Structure 1
Amino acid sequence: MERPLLVTDFLDRARRYYGEHEAVVATTGERYTYDEFGDRVDRFAAFLESAGIGKGDRVAVLDPNTHYHLEAAHGIMNLGAVHTPLNYRLTPNEFEYILSDAEVDAIYADYDYAGKIESIRDEVPVETFVTNDADAVEGDWLDFEDVIDNDGAFERPEMSEDEVITINYTSGTTGDPKGVMRTHRCETLHAYLTILHQDIEDTDVYYWTLPMFHVNGWGHIYAVTGMGAKHICARGVDVETVFEALREEDVSYLCAAPTVLNQFGAYYDAHDVPVQGANDVRVATAGASPPEATIRTIEDELGWHIMHVYGATETGPLVTTSDFGRFIDDESRFRVKKRQGIGFLGTEIRVVDEDGEDVPRDDSTIGEIVVRGNQVMEEYWNKPEETEEAFNDRVEGYYHMGDLATVDENGFVAIRDRKKDIIISGGENISSIELEDTIFEHPAVADVAVIPSPSEEWGETPKAFVVPESGDLDEPGVTREEITAFTRERLASYKVVRRIEFVTELPTTATGKVQKYELREREWADEDEMVGQG
């Protein structure tokens, strides 16, 4: 029997079997059962329908991890509309690009971020503006609680599993974000895989440290909901509050970038507080590997279980994990957990050379990671050339991750370098080309190259090598502090360039192409790998 895979099934299931069980603990203290949560979702869907939103229309959500985000997302998808979450750390100009590029019809924005949208209101196609505190927002905004004051009646359309249901924007090497189009099918199967490989059960209490906008919270807006587990919402990561929730709410599961893991370890060292309630704690960390010292602190001192996963926005994101017990013993634990791992069930991971051939399992030959799986995106929104390249660069029909890696005798991949001009700082993707374009606008800058630089706090952070227009390193005509301020005025806060080195020239090929690899080699000479832990 064939039954369509639809993201609406997750909340439907939770309401059917867990209606009277607690579903969501709001940042404002309210607690909702799945019946109550589902009712609020219905009423938001009914409002959107009354505002003319229908199947295929794009609706944006700009919100930290509050219950409103969950309600808006599920309400949007109940109409077959396309959930388009936004990174709340972006600038108004970036929001203008995304809202216009996706042709967004309506937006829900948290009161803390609605001002950024209000400042570009006349430049975007959005017609319906909703916030969770209209009194706190300038301009003409509808209040979420007012718009859901209805009977919750709406007509759910017929939907196909091959229809796009989310668009997630990701930073690209060109500086312009790309919209990753994901269908009901790939979202559903990714959530199934997350449930399987992250051991999600109905007794879980999930604490929202991972941004919900980040690939739909790695699919946890579906997975945690569908299993009937409990969501604990949180506006950002406050370490003290996390430890309180671990004890008072019996949190069993959370996600944390390596930088956040370090914050947990440092807080525990300074305060020696209880680190859990009635439940054992497991924590998923993604991307480049956490340092061995971090794994040791979290597992041996706090007693939490680390699950290292890897992926990209385009791939769901999750495609691998190193959390496979048969490969882990006391002697190998840190060596294995630092690796990106092997593929999720039903996911094909290869590391290929420039000719598209698999590299040997010698843990020294470097190739690019490519992947095929049901959780991989459909395509980029309105970017056919980028889509074609992403799936057919070295080998046809695989998504090319842009990460260079080796493979050991067990098939575990380990990232060694990065092919893309992307810096991953504290879990956020930053386009080095975007930073270069920004710095180059300064009249005192003749040329610039930006690379990732190692950072204990963030794993890696942007560093700019600047050739001054004056040609004089002693009198460059601009200070490092002025360049930092210049980027702060034009970029989101996490993209600000704080490390600057003035140089007389940049290393180039015979054709004049900047050889960033040489700069990275020099910058990372004292590190084990040329990839950060962020």
Structure 2
Amino acid sequence: MSATSAEAIFARMTAQGDLMLAQLDRWAAETPDKVFLHYGEDGVRLTFAEVAAHADRLAAGLAGQGIGKGDRVAVLTRNSLVAALSLFGIFRAGAVYAPINFNLTGGLLAYQLSDAAPALLITDPSFLPALAPIQDEIRIPALALHHPAPGDHDFEPAPEIPAGLPAPLDLAELAAPGRPVPRVEVGPFDPAAIIYTSGTTGPAKGVLLGHRWINQYSFFGRPLANADDAIYCDLPMYHVAGAFWLLGVATWSGQTIGIWDKFSPAKFWDRVAECGATSATLLDVMIPRLMSAPERPDDRDNTLMRVHMQPFNANHHAFARRFGIDIVTVGFGQTESGAVFAGVIDEFPEGQGTPPAFWRGMPKAEILAAARDLGRVIFDGREDLPKGLMGAINPLYELGVLDETDAPAAPGEVGQLCLRPRVPGMILQGYINKPDATLKVLSNCWFHTGDAVRCVDEARGLHVFVDRMGGFFRVRGENVSSFEVETALARHPAVRAAAAIPLPAAEGDEDDIAAFVELEDGATLTAEELAAHAAAEMPKYMRPRHLRILDALPVTPTSKIEKYKLRAALLAELDAEKAPA
């Protein structure tokens, strides 16, 4: 049996334990005094033993409210420390962690809370004004409030409790000592979490995930680090990348994790220094925003030596060269399927990346050896790499690149990425309350990702991301990818980021293209100049019919561009122009 076979990888993964909570308990016993959660917003540092003890107390409080195995507990807070501590307490109670997107209001917030149907909601007073208008649309049997203390970064005077909500419990009192701790038997296939899809292209769906899913999602990042490393995290805990990739890797590998409530390009490097982070995850527009800062002679003087970039960024080597990053990892993952593809980019020869005085954790040679042991392909960062690079498939999945009939696409042709797990517990258990959507996504014994990919190296199994299946436009008889349009626009030196969307064509049944750009700080660019750039970079059919220059593109807390907002605003603008004076 090969070391990189599905059987060998599966044996390694499950030998490390399927339960995230069990790993917390392990480190609480082995290194009780080591800092686990470094909450930078308020300077709070909690050890493994303190986090495990809090999980016990919160689980006891939840059990006292009648919450047990399989019950859902929703968490609605911007405070990442409260969310992380709640996650472990919910797991200890055998319940299901159901975080809610804290940016939602009105009907969207009511939808997620109603859909999740929690037995209890953990939130804080800042959300009471958002809950008040929807109290008749939701049913919250119990409510627990975290009360920030005066001096905390999120402290504000508490508003009145809306009359339609249950009398709130105090979260600190709920997690007070003195109650018996429940000991709930939980296995790898028991439900662990409900995570909602981003909803950037349609209604969010609640994805039911089991405990083994969390194990597999973080597994391929764990062998590249040890307990001497530290992780930086500013991704929200209602997203799998924050709660189960970054927090999960830290929990299994015994690392300190520095957590903040949101990304800040101005504070990013100071935060890295504060928690001594050796790794971080940068999504989408984070990279150009960090690169936009004025260069400094000490840009490389930091501990960060591994960065995960998703999606793959063409400026990876320039970023690595400027900030002294030795290793960049790339990949592809989803809420439903977890970590599917991965690749490792060795940016520099030994000693030319992170300054030796700042190096922590595993030696670089050991990191690369660990990557090879997982079957990862290692690339030379100084060479041109294919646009949209995802790397090679996780051995625990069978891969299909399929056409609209679920037949294999021709070699080298674009098709939908479809997956079959080779071992149990690897993908979603279903979309809650949406059996038809679950059946559709799992039709013909394939999980359909909804993403278009292409194989570029069959011998090594390398694939590139092309677009969301809905990201293809049909313009003048040609298929156009939003990814291609955005890449071409972003080549203009004044453009920091771009987003392209389809609109119903002014004539015919195909699409018109609309594009929106965000400029670099201090840059100026007219619509005419941008149109001239598009004309120079793109064939005529690919050029956007509508171009808009914005102060900032709307993004989710995970830095995904919210294209539906751009589309709605432009359609309203165009409708207003058509209206009679």
> Do they superpose with TM above 0.5?
yes
Aligned to 2:418: 370
Residue 173 of structure 1: CA displacement? 8.7
**Match for 2:324 among 297, 303, 322?**
303
Identity among equivalent positions (%) equals 23
Contact (CA 8 Å) 1:106, 1:129: kept in 2 or not? yes
Summarize deviations over 1:458-484 as a string: whole Å, max 9, x none: 54265655979xxxxxxxxxxx9xxx9
Kindly tell me the number of residue pairs found equivalent between the two proteins. Answer: 443
Residue 352 of structure 1: CA displacement? 1.9
**How do 1:117-516 residues align onto structure 2 when only pairs under 5 Å count?**
117-133=131-147, 135-139=157-161, 140-151=167-178, 153-171=180-198, 175-196=202-223, 199-215=224-240, 217=242, 218-267=244-293, 269-277=294-302, 279-287=303-311, 289-290=312-313, 292=314, 294-304=315-325, 305-316=327-338, 318-323=339-344, 327-329=378-380, 332=383, 334-336=384-386, 338-362=388-412, 365-373=413-421, 374-392=425-443, 396-409=444-457, 410-420=460-470, 454=486, 456-460=495-499, 494=562, 495-497=564-566, 498-500=569-571, 502=574
Summarize deviations over 1:369-407 as a string: whole Å, max 9, x none: 112334311111121211111112xxx222111111210
In the superposition, the TM-score normalised over structure 2's length comes to: 0.69
For 1:51 and 1:330, how far apart are their aligned partners in 2? 54
CA RMSD of aligned residues (A): 3.3
Aligned to 1:14: 27
Query: Helix, strand or coil: the match of 1:188?
Result: helix
Query: Helix, strand or coil: the match of 2:308?
Result: strand
Query: Helix, strand or coil: the match of 1:223?
Result: helix
Distance 1:422 1:153, change over 3 A: farther
Residue 314 of structure 1: CA displacement? 0.8
AA at the equivalent of 1:178: K
For 2:108 and 2:301, how far apart are their aligned partners in 1? 39
For 2:132 and 2:416, how far apart are their aligned partners in 1? 42
Residue 337 of structure 1: CA displacement? 7.5
Contact (CA 8 Å) 1:366, 1:406: kept in 2 or not? yes
More displaced, 141-150 or 80-89?
A: 141-150
Contact (CA 8 Å) 1:61, 1:107: kept in 2 or not? yes
Contact (CA 8 Å) 1:55, 1:81: kept in 2 or not? yes
Query: Helix, strand or coil: the match of 1:203?
Result: coil
Aligned to 1:95: 109
Residue 35 of structure 1: CA displacement? 0.8
Aligned to 1:525: none
Summarize deviations over 1:482-521 as a string: whole Å, max 9, x none: xx9xxx9xxx9955324457499xxxxxxxxxxxxxxxxx
Residue 261 of structure 1: CA displacement? 1.0
Aligned to 2:371: none
Distance 1:216 1:86, change over 3 A: farther
Summarize deviations over 1:41-74 as a string: whole Å, max 9, x none: 2211111111221111111112335211111011
In the superposition, the TM-score normalised over structure 1's length comes to: 0.75
For 2:221 and 2:125, how far apart are their aligned partners in 1? 31
For 2:221 and 2:498, how far apart are their aligned partners in 1? 25
Contact (CA 8 Å) 1:467, 1:503: kept in 2 or not? no
Contact (CA 8 Å) 1:210, 1:256: kept in 2 or not? no
Residue 120 of structure 1: CA displacement? 2.4
For 2:219 and 2:378, how far apart are their aligned partners in 1? 23
AA at the equivalent of 2:307: V
Q: Which 5+ residue runs of structure 2 have no aligned equivalent?
A: 1-10, 149-156, 162-166, 347-376, 474-481, 508-545, 555-559, 577-581
